[in-house]
């Protein structure tokens, strides 16, 4: 079973429905994974940073321009990468593990573990475990465990098939595995979690879907039965 099959199965187990994402977009002429509303919003946000600041909308038929605008918008929400970072370009497939001390941006496919000592932004696929200082998943699929020393952020179209361990987390995508965040956990309305959640403090927006136990520890102060009156 491939990564996408596991992803669809995870969603089906929670919602009881087969996902039809992408079919309506394809019929409307939009690329897979891109919603019409996203395109309209992207057009409105496109600006000419080197010009007068008024901005220009991309032609409706120019997919390259639309993709570039969507990607720029997504990456702008992630931790900024240093100019000394490494980029794995779209269409590139790496078979093997990756270890880096600089900022790392993955837009291609990596079949192996990724160890990064700084900021890691993924806009592609990784079949392996991830360990980095800060992690941003932008419309990406990860088949493996994810560990971040500081923060983890994932967009609506991102999916993790594995456990997630981090300090702070913002989830807008899908996770099939346990989540442990020692600090804050924010689960947006589009998030789907199949697994147990343990966080210091938690914020759950209406519409978020979860199946599993949820535990809040508030730092080192765990809630136990001693706080309740005895019968």
Q: Are residues 69 and 134 in the same domain?
A: no
What pLDDT does residue 223 have? Answer: 60
Report the share of the chain in percent with pLDDT over 90: 56
Q: Are residues 30 and 133 in the same domain?
A: no
Burial string for 147-161 (b: 16+ CB within 10 Å, else e) reads: bbeebbbbbbbbbbb
Tell me if 224 is assigned to some domain.
no
Q: Are residues 110 and 180 in the same domain?
A: yes
Q: Are residues 53 and 164 in the same domain?
A: no
What pLDDT does residue 64 have? Answer: 54
- The stretch 171-190 carries a mean pLDDT of 96
Residue 186 to residue 129: CA distance in whole angstroms = 23
Among 58, 76, 94, the domain-final residue is 76
Residue 59 has pLDDT above 60, yes or no: no
Q: What sign results for the dihedral spanned by CA atoms 147, 190, 104, 160? A: positive
Instruction: Of 209, 173, 180, 172, give the one whose Cα is nearest residue 194.
Output: 209
- The stretch 59-80 carries a mean pLDDT of 52
What pLDDT does residue 51 have? Answer: 46
Instruction: Of 154, 165, 160, give the one whose Cα is nearest residue 176.
Output: 160
* Higher per-residue confidence, 21 vs 98: 98
The conformation of residue 189, written as its DSSP 8-state character, comes to T
Question: How much is the pTM?
Answer: 0.63
How far is residue 74 from each of residues 11, 71, 138, 154, measured CA to CA in Å? 23, 5, 6, 10
Tell me the residue range of the domain where 160 lies: 86-216
* Higher per-residue confidence, 40 vs 76: 76
Residue 14 has pLDDT above 60, yes or no: no
Instruction: Of 32, 228, 17, give the one whose Cα is nearest residue 139.
Output: 32
Residue 42 has pLDDT above 50, yes or no: no
Residue 141 to residue 84: CA distance in whole angstroms = 25
- The stretch 117-126 carries a mean pLDDT of 96
Residue 31 has pLDDT above 90, yes or no: no
Structural tokens at position 128: 């392996």
Q: How many domains does the chain have?
A: 2
Task: Please answer whether residues 141 and 123 qualify as being in contact, where contact means their C-beta atoms are separated by less than 8 angstroms.
Answer: no
């Amino acid at each position: 079973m491939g990564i996408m099959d596991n992803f669809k199965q995870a969603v089906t187990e929670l919602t009881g429905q087969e996902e039809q994402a992408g079919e309506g977009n394809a019929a409307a002429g939009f690329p897979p994974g891109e919603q019409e509303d996203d395109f309209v919003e992207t057009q409105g946000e496109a600006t000419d940073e080197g010009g007068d600041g008024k901005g220009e909308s991309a032609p409706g038929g120019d997919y390259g321009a639309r993709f570039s605008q969507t990607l720029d918008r997504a990456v702008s929400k992630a931790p900024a990468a240093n100019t000394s970072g490494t980029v794995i370009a779209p269409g590139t497939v790496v078979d093997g593990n990756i270890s880096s001390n600089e900022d790392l941006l993955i837009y291609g496919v990596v079949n192996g573990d990724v160890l990064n000592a700084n900021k890691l932004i993924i806009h592609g696929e990784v079949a392996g475990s991830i360990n980095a200082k800060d992690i941003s998943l932008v419309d990406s699929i990860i088949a493996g465990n994810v560990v971040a020393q500081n923060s983890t952020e994932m967009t609506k179209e991102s999916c993790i098939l594995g456990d997630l361990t981090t300090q702070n987390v913002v989830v807008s995508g899908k996770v099939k595995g346990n989540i442990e965040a020692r600090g804050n956990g924010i689960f947006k309305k589009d998030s789907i979690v199949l697994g147990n959640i343990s966080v210091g403090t938690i914020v759950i927006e209406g519409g978020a879907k979860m199946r599993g136990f949820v535990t809040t520890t508030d730092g080192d102060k765990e809630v136990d039965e001693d706080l309740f009156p005895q019968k």
